[in-house]
Amino acid sequence: MKKLYKGIHKFQGSYFKKEKVFFKRLSKRQEPEVLFITCSDSRIDPNLVTQSKPGEIFIVRNVGNIIPPYDAIKDKNSVAAAIEFAVLSLKVKDIIVCGHSNCGAMEALYKDERELTNMPHLKDWLKLAAPVKDIVLKYYPMIQSEARQRITEEENVLCQLHNIQTYPFVQEALNAGVLHLHGWDYNIETGKIYAYDTDADMFKEIKLSKTLDKGFKGAE
Secondary structure (DSSP) of 84-143:
HIIIIIS--SEEEEEEETT-HHHHHTTS-GGGGTT-HHHHHHHGGGHHHHHHHHHH-TT-
DSSP 1-50: -HHHHHHHHHIIIIIHHHTHHHHHHHTT----SEEEEEE--TT--HHHHH
CA 72 to chain centroid, in Å, comes to: 19
* Residue 104 CB partners (closer than 8 Å, separation 6+): 41
Q: What string of pLDDT tens digits covers the 220 residues of the chain?
A: 999 999 999 999 999 999 999 999 999 999 999 999 999 999 999 999 999 999 999 999 999 999 999 988 777 789 999 999 999 999 999 999 999 999 999 999 999 989 999 999 999 999 999 999 999 999 999 998 889 999 999 999 999 999 999 999 999 999 999 999 999 999 999 999 999 999 999 999 998 765 556 676 664 3
Are residues 101 and 153 in contact, defined by beta-carbon separation less than 8 angstroms?
Answer: yes
Helix (H) or strand (E) holding 79: helix 78-84
Q: H or E stretch including 181? A: strand 180-186
Q: Estimate to the nearest angstrom the gap between the alpha carbon of 145 and the chain centroid.
A: 23
pLDDT the model gives residue 219:
46
